[in-house]
Chain A
Amino acid sequence: MKRRTLINSAISGLIALGVSGVAMNASAAEMEKCYGVAKAGKNDCQTANSSCAGTSKADGQKDAFVLVPTGSCEKLVGGNLESA
């Protein structure tokens, strides 16, 4: 069978490369890389009480909100964005 032959040769190839040979093949592909910067643990928020306590910004009052997106989304062009 063709499929069986393909599989046999692929697995044999993997065995022949061995652990170090396989690792050499890793980095060639096209990709985005991001150092997993040491981010702040989110649970720190649980002890740090907000210094904006008492301000309207954080407590769900509508006047602080913006109902229309205002960020970099305007740079995304094309796409049939209107819902059909």
Chain B
Amino acid sequence: MPGLREVQERFSANVLDADAVGIAADVKAGAFEPRLRLQVYRNNVFTGLTDALRAVYPVVEKLVGEGFFLYASNEFIKRNPSTSGDLHAFGSGFGSFLATFEPAKKLSYLPDVAQLEWNYHEVYHEADADAMDVDALQLIAPDQYERLQFRLNPACRLMQSVFPVIEIWRVNQEGYSGDQTVDLDAGAVNVLLLRQGEEIELHPLDAGDYAMLAMFARGDQLGDCLGAAQRIDAAFDLTGFLSRFVGNRALIDFTAC
């Protein structure tokens, strides 16, 4: 009589691969052969995981079509196991998978679109944050300002793409009825995804703003961040930057060190 661990090992191998040395011999046949009974589980497992991917990556699915998405997601599921009982955690590597997925090779923008959608999914479930208490800055001595570290809203993500991913995303939203044509040569884009309550915003950023936020995200100090932004854009406007990104809650806190 097989022990429980052995049953689970063979069952899971068989669900993932119908031809695996399997559990069929341990399954009662009745009117239906064990192979068919196991197929019910195989379908449920693959459909459940595919539906989870489909929910995170609607734009990727729209771009490649349903049949191709199914093909790609099946291959992804086999190579990138789910490692959590929470399906919201499944699918983070889909963009990198698509980058190496031979049939999708010509769609070189697809991994970045997937990354945008994964970021969107994470921002959707991230912690909420209050606006920065700017009055508390009065407690900081001005000679400490250069060493301020600003903290980003947990419900935000930064990314860069050489493709116009915001535009690709926009024209492939459900309910969009305009022209879906996008010029892939329209240029690189820096993106800030930011959730405000129930709304998720996609901000295109210029290089200076992006550099500042990316450095704050790493924990760099204000003086160093400004130096980097000025090397990119000599006329970088720090006053405008702070009032915009404190104002929209991309920056929510600071520490003085």
Q: Do the two chains touch directly in the complex (Cβ atoms below 8 Å apart)? A: yes
Whether A53 and B40, one on each chain, are in contact in the complex, defined by CB atoms closer than 8 angstroms, is yes
What is the size category of the interface that chain B forms with chain A? 35 or more
Interface 1/0 per residue, B73-99 and A, CB below 8 Å:
010001000000011101000000000
Is B177 part of the binding interface, using a Cβ–Cβ cutoff of 8 Å?
no
A39–B123 alpha-carbon span in the complex (Å): 13
Query: Which B residues are CB-close (under 8 A) to A64?
Result: 67, 70
Expressed in whole angstroms, the minimum distance between the Cβ of A12 and any Cβ of chain B is: 8
A64–B70 alpha-carbon span in the complex (Å): 8
Known: A25-B243, A75-B182. Is A69-B43 also a contact (CB below 8 A)? no
Interface of B: prevailing SS: helix
- Interface Cβ pair total, 8 Å cutoff: 233
Query: Which B residues are CB-close (under 8 A) to A15?
Result: 134-135, 137-138
Known: A10-B242, A31-B202, A77-B181. Is A65-B71 also a contact (CB below 8 A)? yes
Interface 1/0 per residue, B28-48 and A, CB below 8 Å:
000000001001101110111
A24–B131 alpha-carbon span in the complex (Å): 12
What is the size category of the interface that chain A forms with chain B? 35 or more
Interface 1/0 per residue, B213-257 and A, CB below 8 Å:
000000000110011001000000011011110111100000000
Query: Which B residues are CB-close (under 8 A) to A65?
Result: 67-68, 70-71, 74
Whether A59 and B46, one on each chain, are in contact in the complex, defined by CB atoms closer than 8 angstroms, is yes
From the candidates A22, A24, A59, A82, name the one contacting B106 in the complex (CB within 8 A).
A82
Query: Which A residues are CB-close (under 8 A) to B146?
Result: 3-4, 7
Whether A24 and B223, one on each chain, are in contact in the complex, defined by CB atoms closer than 8 angstroms, is no
Which A residues are closer than 8 A to B by beta carbons? 3-4, 6-11, 13-15, 17-19, 22-36, 39-43, 45-46, 49-50, 52-55, 57-60, 64-73, 75-79, 81-83
**24 pairs from A and B in contact (CB 8 Å cutoff):** A4-B223, A9-B239, A11-B145, A11-B148, A13-B239, A14-B137, A15-B137, A19-B131, A22-B134, A24-B247, A26-B244, A26-B249, A31-B201, A32-B169, A32-B170, A34-B173, A34-B200, A36-B200, A42-B88, A50-B47, A53-B43, A58-B47, A66-B65, A73-B107
